[in-house]
Structure formats: C-alpha cells, structure tokens
Amino acid sequence: MSHTWDPDRYLAYADERGRPFVDLLARVQAERPHSVVDLGCGPGNLTALLADRWRGARVVGVDSSPEMIAAARSVEGIDWEVGDLRDWARPDPLALRAPIDVLVSNATLQWVPDHLELLPDLLDRVAPGGWFAFQVPGNFDEPSHTIRTDIAARTPYAEHTRDVAVPASHDAADYLRVLVDLGCEVDAWETTYLHVLSGPDPVFDWVSGTGARPTLQALPDDLRPLFEDEFRALLREAYPADRSGRVVLPFRRIFVVARKAGEGDRVDA
C-alpha cells in the first residue's frame, strides 16, 4: 500500500532529526566536489547544508515523495527531483549519466527492502575517489517500533496493515563489509542519541511522522482512532515522563562514510 509524507509533521522535530545528518557530513572529507546528490532529501532543510558547504557544486535533492519535493522547492540554489531511489541507482550500461562526487543518503535506505544488495549500484554512481555517506536508524528493536508492530498484528487491524511498508536496517559491520569488499575505505560507527521531548504523547508525535506513518495511513477512519489510543497508552508506559514532564527517547543510528577508490590509489597485491 502506498502512503504519503507530511513535511510539516516531519519538521516538528527538525533539530533532533537534523543532528545525525550534521554528524555524518562532518566525516566526509571532500574538498571541491563538482556534483553532490542527496537521496531521500525530504523537505530540503538538510540538503541546504550541502549547498552551503560546497558552494561551487551542483547540488541535487531527490525524493520519492511529491509532497516533500514541493516543500523543498522553497530552498533556492538546489535542483529538486521526484524519483525513486531504486530507479536512480539502476545501472547505466551506456554510461550516459555523469558520476557523482558526493552521494549522501540520510535516514532513507531503511525504507528500501534488501538495500544491502543495492549498495554496489549506488556506489557505481559515484566517481572514482568520490564519497558515499549514509545514515539509517538502528532502533527497530525498541518499544517505539515493537509496540506498533504488535498492535498492528492484532484483529481487527491486521487485515489492513499486513502489507504496509516497515523500515529495517543492518548493523554498521554489515555495511562496512560490503563496501570494503567493493574497494572502499570505510568509516562506520553507531551513536545512540538521547532526545529529550516534551508535550503530551511526544513519542507518538515523533513516530507518527516517520516509522509509524504507513501503518496509521493504512487503517480505515473508523479504526485509526482506536489504534492510536492504544498505541499512545503503551508508548506512555514504555517512555514515562519525569516530574517535569520530560520524556527521554533513546535513538540508535548507524553511520557509514565510504571513499571510493580513485584512479591513482595504490592497490596492494
């Protein structure tokens, strides 16, 4: 089942969602790239950081959501495209597409099934000596996700939610092995952020803008409120507020920065 994204809801926690992108970008050591692409650019607020850092480069933001790209077009100086990441990575046997100097993907690959097998095709789009950097959530075993999965599997919700998109990712070591085998120099790590949230049901507000959104949209109007009420109650138990009303949301993320071998790089025998 298809779903749509809400840029305003996503941007409700823009600072918290943006920090991993900044941490990822700090490890990319490209100096004067000619072309930079952000795959899964969302509403474009973070893609703007790429244009600010590499002012001489052509920066392109790609996202499969027309709603996200419509919001991103308010950011000037960047080329915006609606497109599926899998189509963008498709091999180009005639070599008609110019190679990319810096390819970035922030919190997007987790939505692509079997994306580990897609890494070679994505790397093929990168120029020799270029950079491929991505970040994915690694918190899918946390209550913020498992509670949704458990409720969605119950009657009467299951018949509506069984085919919805569900995000998934791998450990840093898995991504490292694939990219090292492809000849890259790889820096892979993980970080658990502790997001301090406030307001009524802040964890529900967070996940309903991202990981839980396809599930919620799949439910009919008469069932969605019941699902949400149960989801909210269980999230409050899993993430209780302190005396000041603050809620701490631990969020593990996986980072990978790979430099593709260049034409002049030494290859050990």
Query: Tell me: the pLDDT tens digits for 108-125?
Result: 999 999 999 999 999 999
156 preceded by cis ω (within 30°)? yes
For residue 178, the SS3 value is helix
Alpha-carbon dihedral angle through residues 75, 79, 85, 88, given to the nearest 10 degrees: 180
Tokens of 102: 């810096």
Q: Determine, yes or no, domain membership for 33.
A: yes
- Strands (E) across 75-171 are located at 79-82, 100-106, 126-137
Q: Determine, yes or no, domain membership for 226.
A: no
Query: Tell me: the pLDDT tens digits for 195-209?
Result: 999 999 999 999 988
Of 7-16, 59-68, 259-268, the range with the highest mean pLDDT is 59-68
- Work out the pLDDT band at 169, boundaries 50, 70, 90: very high
Q: Determine, yes or no, domain membership for 185.
A: yes
How much is the pLDDT for 147? 97
The 247-259 sheet, strands edge to edge: 79-82, 58-63, 35-39, 100-106, 126-137, 247-259, 185-197
- Is it the case that residue 242 has pLDDT exceeding 60? yes
Q: Determine, yes or no, domain membership for 25.
A: yes
Rounded CA-CA distance 18/106 in Å is 9
The domain in which residue 83 lies consists of: 7-141+167-196+250-259
Q: Determine, yes or no, domain membership for 146.
A: no
What CATH number corresponds to the domain at position 49?
3.40.50.150
Q: Determine, yes or no, domain membership for 156.
A: no
Torsion region of 146: left, alpha or beta (phi above 0 gives left; psi -120 to 50 gives alpha): alpha
- Is it the case that residue 1 has pLDDT exceeding 50? no
Q: Determine, yes or no, domain membership for 177.
A: yes
pTM of the complete model beyond 0.85: yes
Q: Determine, yes or no, domain membership for 268.
A: no
Instruction: Answer positive or negative: Cα dihedral of 168, 252, 63, 42.
Output: positive
Rounded CA-CA distance 61/203 in Å is 28
Q: What is the number of domains present in the chain?
A: 1
